[in-house]
Chain A
Amino acid sequence: MDKSRLEELKKIALQARKTILKMAVGPGCFAGSSLSLVDITTYLYNGYLNISKDNLDDENRDFVFLSKGHTVPALYSVFVENGILDKSRIDNHWDPKDDIYLHPNKNVPGIEFHSGSLGHGLGLAVGVALDSKIRKNGSKAVVIIGDGELNEGSNWESLLVAMTYKLDNLIIIIDRNKIQANKKTEDLVPLEPVEEKFKAFGCAVERGNGHDFEWLDETFSKIPFETGKPNVIIADTLRGKGVPSIQERVDRWYCSFNEDEYKELIKELENNA
């Protein structure tokens, strides 16, 4: 990755983080887990995916399903930066006149399907990947799953189907921030060794730092990792990444800040950039 692209991605991610913090003011949002994901969504929507504000109805576009729907600020904030979503709509968070609420829905441009109930995205992505195989159009189906979400059995059912149908156009991203709603994953239902689990289910797996754009670029460029195998990217991330006072805190899943706190957090974010 050349330096200017790297700087550009960092700039977008910083702006997106500011938007996420803004969405956490007042009634709030799931800011902690959105901040762990936002570098990945920044990368995906700025150069990697065949998705832009001009091709949202293109039959051959790529498809993204945010299975961990509560981190939708990590999508909306990036959509604002690349023009998919009008910035003014962020101000409508929680406003009954709009549909910017805690989970994604199709009334917001760029969202392919509603989510919120965990363990649904992978099945949907499998269906879309099957369709792309029938069309032979090379369209990719991306699903973003939380690590805690892997507790849901439906993921493992769908993985079996993905393996059976050799869906190498399916990209499964695990946001491995190591904290689920209220507990560290390894203190609750331990997931490690998580790569081995996916490998045992017939997937090709890569693991690395989900905040490192150069690693993300290197890794996504190798897709399909192996012909005939679903691609799994385990992205090691940090909840609350970029804002030290909330980073890696178990009690910063859902956040609700007042204006003063927000100003402080923005300062923190900028100082840390």
Chain B
Amino acid sequence: MDYQSILKKLMKEDERFVVMTAENRALLRDFPDKLEDRFVDTGITEQALIGSGAGLALRGRIPVIHALAAFLSMRCFEFVRTDAGFPNLPLKLVAFIPGLLSEGNGPTHQAIEDVSIMRGIPNVHVFCPANAQDCTIGLEKVLKSPNPTYIRYNTRQTEFKHSTDFEIGKAEIISKGEDVTLLVYGTLFEEALKTKEMLEAKGIKTGLMNLRMVKPLDEAAILDAVENTKNLVTIEDHFLTGGLFTAVSELLVKNNKSIPVLPISLEDHWFKPVQLDKILELEGFTPEKMSEKIQNKFFK
């Protein structure tokens, strides 16, 4: 089932679900245009969207809220923090075209600090599926969880068969490897998978973890990798600050663990607004460039 089918099924089965959007219909093309009781389009708003979503949640509803990632994470940040985070209300924020997926839109639409922003709010979970298939695997559990959740929606398609075993706060362990372990979430999963294959072709034993959720982070899986691998790489389409690299650094310091870590992310800059394959090339996120970076850092 795809995203819309799952959402429609839940709407049918469970009266608590309300679909909301700030006139962002990309994920709701099959929803009736007629405004129904449990389909609320607030127009181009973010504060009213989150505020009214919180009001609905206060009365026991689960609003599934659609807007572009950049605006949903930043324009109404204080509303998410104060009206959803503090009271721990289950608003589900479906963030469209996060990270590199904004492609040619330009810096206004680049949500590349969104993970940092959202993971900083108590109670808020952050779900970053590797692709559309991975998203549908976790979707129902994420939407039914009691926490407010930021869903870094991912439209990329894959041939990879993800594990259907999904739990909140659990990573998908693709492989274990004693030389290096790649930690990745979201959009760059496919590139990380190919990077792993390229490293293995060079005889480097490579682990790969699809984190699925940056919060709660699968700390046990990462600490286990630290014990059983010599090096870590964090891969994310996000600013270096505040995302996975930061979360892993915090975890290591908190647990008195020391291990070489190579962060692969957007450094302190916005990316050139072009098509995804070009961005991957320009920002060094292709498997060729990532495996080269990893070899230069750890295996020279």
**Residues of chain A at the chain B interface (Cβ within 8 Å):** 106, 112-114, 117, 119-120, 122-134, 141, 153-154, 157-158, 160-161, 164-165
Contact = CB atoms under 8 A, between A and B. Distances in A.
Interface in B72-123: 78-79, 82-83, 86-87
B74 to A, nearest CB: 15
Contacts of A122: 51
B47 A123 contact: yes
B47 A157 contact: yes
B59 A128 contact: yes
A127 B38 contact: no
A154 B48 contact: yes
Given A123-B83, A158-B47, 18 more contacts: A113-B58, A114-B87, A117-B78, A119-B47, A120-B51, A122-B51, A123-B48, A126-B48, A127-B58, A127-B59, A127-B63, A132-B59, A141-B55, A154-B48, A154-B79, A157-B42, A158-B48, A160-B45
Contacts of A164: 42-43
Q: How large is the interface on B (under 10, 10 to 19, 20 to 34, 35 or more residues)?
A: 20 to 34
Contacts of B59: 127-128, 131-132
B86 A114 contact: yes
Contacts of A128: 55-56, 58-59
Contact of B55 (A114, A125, A154): A125
Contact of B51 (A131, A134, A158, A160): A158
A26 to B, nearest CB: 27
Nearest to A106: B87
B54 A124 contact: yes
Contacts of A124: 51-52, 54-55, 58, 83
Interface of B: 35, 37-38, 40, 42-43, 45, 47-48, 50-61, 63, 78-79, 82-83, 86-87
B52 A120 contact: no
Chain A interface mostly: helix
B43 A123 contact: no
B286 to A, nearest CB: 42
A112 B58 contact: yes
A122 B40 CA distance: 16
A15 B57 CA distance: 36
Contacts of A157: 42, 45, 47-48
Contacts of A114: 82, 86-87
Contact of B53 (A117, A120, A127, A133): A127
Contacts of A125: 55
A133 to B, nearest CB: 7
11 contacts: A114-B82, A124-B58, A127-B59, A131-B60, A134-B37, A153-B47, A157-B42, A157-B45, A158-B47, A161-B43, A161-B52
B52 A126 contact: yes
Contacts of B55: 123-131, 141
Nearest to A132: B59
